């Protein structure tokens, strides 16, 4: 295996995995870190040789320069921590799926640090959270979150930070951990998967059409649309009027004195797609979607303001109510 000089090898290994009727397959795992100390555009290939097989994996990225007009200590306060990197082996086969997220991160002027998480490594890896304003938790960063790190995140929010929590029934185990983290502050997620009322109507029309021997395209009952009336007026929803979601789980406010819904879930009165809980000087925000980076792709976000909402969520927290 050969890595370009701007990458640092973390781990590598060979193993097998069974994929249903497709049988067992050999895989090669490579975990590496990107050196972001020097700004610029980087492009090269990772060369991997396994037995008779030789693979060249292209990699390209850009490191933005740090702002020169602020003090180094202040620059450290403009970062977001995303413990579970979307650039992982089980996310997607299409690298272009990450481009919408890259665009959002640039628009939000937010430098993000990413970790690779597993059940054995922990989630925060001893990171000093005082250097961040926003922490985004989703997928394995939730399911692997230990109690001690959960307390650290609650303290981070109480000091003025923002914790973004993306979870739903689709990604098993994320809702339970999300609720363990958020329930003391008056907001929880329901570990269920409602159907879009619009799609239910379309399905009824399809059944009638079938009776008349007419063909009507089947609706995708996993896609969920939210229009402007479902969006509450709030600094976090500025510029947001239409949203789409994939298999969302409802957000419920259990203590209106501490929390509120900022996006309603059509067809389910009193439940929402997103809610905010005030925690000391900061806040926790729950969104009923787990694969947050895929939520921005054209297949999931076409004709919506999904990207604008995430950009708002990544903005500098104002603190308090």
Q: Which tens digits make up the pLDDT trace of 132-187?
A: 999 999 999 999 999 999 999 999 999 999 999 999 999 999 999 999 999 999 99
User: What pLDDT score does 261 carry?
Assistant: 98
For 40: left if phi > 0, alpha if psi spans -120 to 50, otherwise beta; the answer is: left
Task: Report pLDDT digits (tens) over 22-76.
Answer: 888 888 889 999 988 888 999 999 999 888 889 999 998 888 776 544 445 444 4
Task: Report pLDDT digits (tens) over 84-116.
Answer: 999 988 888 888 999 999 999 888 777 889 988
> How far apart are the C-alpha atoms of 179 and 190, rounded to whole Å?
9
Question: Does 75-313 carry CATH code 3.90.550.10?
Answer: no
Q: 3-class SS at 251?
A: strand
Across 13-22, 82-91, 190-199, 200-209, least confident range: 200-209
The pTM of this model reads 0.85
pLDDT bracket for residue 201 (50, 70, 90): very low
Q: 3-class SS at 247?
A: coil
What are the domain boundaries of the chain? 1-65, 75-313
Q: 3-class SS at 208?
A: helix
- Where do runs of H (alpha helix) occur along the chain? 72-75, 99-107, 140-143, 147-158, 174-182, 197-211, 298-301, 306-313
CA angle 185/191/194 to nearest 5° reads 115
């Amino acid at each position: 295996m050969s890595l370009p000089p701007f990458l640092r090898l973390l781990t590598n290994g060979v193993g097998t995995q069974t994929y249903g009727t497709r049988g067992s397959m050999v895989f090669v795992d490579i975990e590496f870190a990107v050196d972001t100390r020097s700004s610029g555009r980087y492009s090269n290939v990772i060369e991997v040789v396994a037995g008779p097989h030789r693979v060249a994996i292209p990699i390209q990225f850009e490191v933005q320069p740090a702002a020169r007009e602020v003090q180094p200590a202040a620059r450290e306060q403009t970062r977001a921590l995303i413990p579970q990197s979307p650039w992982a082996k089980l996310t997607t086969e299409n690298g272009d799926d990450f481009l919408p997220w890259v665009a959002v991160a640039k628009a939000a002027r937010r430098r993000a640090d990413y970790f690779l998480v597993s059940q054995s490594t922990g989630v925060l890896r001893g990171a000093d959270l005082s250097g961040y304003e926003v922490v985004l938790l989703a997928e394995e960063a939730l399911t692997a979150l230990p109690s001690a790190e959960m307390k650290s995140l609650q303290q981070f929010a109480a000091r003025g930070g923002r914790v973004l929590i993306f979870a739903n029934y689709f990604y098993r185990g994320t809702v339970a951990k999300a609720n363990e983290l958020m329930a003391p502050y008056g907001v929880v997620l329901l570990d269920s998967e409602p159907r879009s009322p619009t799609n239910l109507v379309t399905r009824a029309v399809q059944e009638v059409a079938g009776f008349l021997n007419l063909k009507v395209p089947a609706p995708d009952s996993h896609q969920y649309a939210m229009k402007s009336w479902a969006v509450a007026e709030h600094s976090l929803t500025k510029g947001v009027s239409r949203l789409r979601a994939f298999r969302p789980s409802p957000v419920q406010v259990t203590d209106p004195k501490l929390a509120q819904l900022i996006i309603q879930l059509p067809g389910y009165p009193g439940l929402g797609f997103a809610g905010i809980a005030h925690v000391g000087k900061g806040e926790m925000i729950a969104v009923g979607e787990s694969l947050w980076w895929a939520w921005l792709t054209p297949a999931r976000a076409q004709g919506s303001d999904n990207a604008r909402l995430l950009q708002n969520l990544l903005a500098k927290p104002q603190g308090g109510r």
